[in-house]
Amino acid sequence: MELQEAKDKFIHTWGTLATQWGINRTMSQIHALLLLAPEALNADQIMAELQISRGNVNMNLRDLMSWGLIFKQLLPGERKEYFVAEKDIWKVARQIAKERRRREIEPIKGTMEEIQNELVPDTEEKKEVLKIIQEISQVTNFADSTVDSLLKSKESWLISSFLKLFNH
């Protein structure tokens, strides 16, 4: 397999996967492209590489920055803005988990709590409904706090590795 073929295959697979997860295809393709790029790229290069419009590139670059997955890089003597991806994949995973939790898990927790606080269990059916909702809350909280713990332990693992560097 040649380099370009491998890159294309990766970018394509990444984009397809993203679609299934409710993430815009172009956004993930740009992300994949930057992950594999040996140096920072500018908008024109991304346009050319993925054959997409300037507006589309701009929009998705901003989205990726808001997810904390890529960063602007200003090269000396260049007016164009360049972009690099965070290449530490653990950080990437952590960042994605953090963002999705903020954007998706937290709102559903809110609704569940609202119903639990305001629905009075004065009939059998209301009790049943509350039971289901409570169980969903439990699973959600469990998933949430598990992800949280794992991310925190990875973080502290990274920090401790980092600190060790200075103890040598």
Could you tell which of its own copies, DNA, none binds residue 93, using a CB distance below 5 to 8 A set by kind?
its own copies
* DSSP per-residue string spanning the chain: --HHHHHHHHHHHHHHHHHHTT--HHHHHHHHHHHH-SS-EEHHHHHHHHT--HHHHHHHHHHHHHTTSEEEEEPTT--SEEEEE---HHHHHHHHHHHHIIIIIHHHHHHHHHHHHH----SHHHHHHHHHHHHHHHHHHHHHHHHHHHHHHHHHHHHHHHHHHHT-
Could you tell which of its own copies, DNA, none binds residue 59, using a CB distance below 5 to 8 A set by kind?
DNA
Q: Which is nearer to its own copies, 15 or 61 (CB)?
A: 15
Q: How far is the CB of 116 from DNA (least distance, A)?
A: 28
Q: Does 80 bind its own copies (CB under 8 A)?
A: no
Q: Which is nearer to its own copies, 47 or 96 (CB)?
A: 96
Q: Does 108 bind its own copies (CB under 8 A)?
A: yes
Q: Which of 38, 55, 76, 77 binds its own copies (CB under 8 A)?
A: 38
Q: Which is nearer to DNA, 63 or 144 (CB)?
A: 63
Task: Look up tokens 């954007």; give the residue.
Answer: 103
Q: How far is the CB of 51 from DNA (least distance, A)?
A: 7
Give the count of residues interacting with its own copies (CB under 8 A).
58
d(CA 77, CA 128): 67
Q: Interface residues with DNA (CB under 7 A)?
A: 19, 24-26, 42-44, 51-56, 58-62, 78-81
